[in-house]
Chain A
Amino acid sequence: NAGVMQNPRHLVRRRGQEARLRCSPMKGHSHVYWYRQLPEEGLKFMVYLQKENIIDESGMPKERFSAEFPKEGPSILRIQQVVRGDSAAYFCASSPWGKTEAFFGQGTRLTVV
């Protein structure tokens, strides 16, 4: 059973471009979480999704950021018109229903130049 897969591992974008980060959860996991880690800081919750539903987006910036988890395919975190402050590592985690732990991917490091 493959782990949580995130791609790309590294992404470089110029200011104003769009960034798309992908997360394929572990097989059988229906819950996906996105976290952001700024340099030298802990992870900060962004959004919690189930298939085709956003359950909790209390940590998402109000503008430019969106997330989806379609019925088929990976979860996507989309950042429009990126700015330097968006440079961070973005982690995805997945879990099955009712279990205690979430399993993390290796993260995508976004660099905005």
Chain B
Amino acid sequence: AQTVTQSQPEMSVQEAETVTLSCTYDTSESDYYLFWYKQPPSRQMILVIRQEAYKQQNATENRFSVNFQKAAKSFSLKISDSQLGDAAMYFCAYRSDGIQGAQKLVFGQGTRLTINP
């Protein structure tokens, strides 16, 4: 079974600075997807960024980018120019590509990010 590990329960960063959240995963599959979700106090799960395992290029979405190291099974999230609105729980998630149409996600335990003004 796949597992996802986030080793940083909490992180903090000064506003406008850069922060990196770590995620490692374990799988024997070669095709899969990786995601970062943001969960603010409202509890809504918001997709931040997605990476397909077959793509070597790291995904980027505005101030959010990932460092995907397939051999090391590592998938870190970098947030540049941190803003107060980035404060939230961040979850790393894995999705197998095995079952067509299926979106069964395996989540890490989360990292609580605090932004200091």
Report A's interface with B, CB cutoff 8 A.
31, 33, 35, 40-45, 48, 55-56, 89, 91, 93, 95, 97-98, 100-102, 104, 106-107, 109
Contacts and interface: CB of A to CB of B under 8 A. Distances in A.
Contact of A42 (B35, B47, B50, B107): B107
Q: At the interface, is chain A mostly helix, strand, loop or mixed?
A: strand
Interface of B: 4, 6, 33, 35, 42-45, 47, 50, 52, 91, 99-110
B43 A107 contact: yes
Contact of A56 (B4, B43, B104, B105): B104
Q: At the interface, is chain B mostly helix, strand, loop or mixed?
A: loop
Contact of A101 (B44, B50, B99, B100): B50
B42 A106 contact: yes
A42 B110 contact: yes
Nearest to A107: B43
Nearest to A103: B47
Contacts of A109: 43
Name which of A31, A101, A102, A106 has the most chain B CB atoms within 10 A of its CB: A102
Contact of B104 (A45, A97, A101): A45
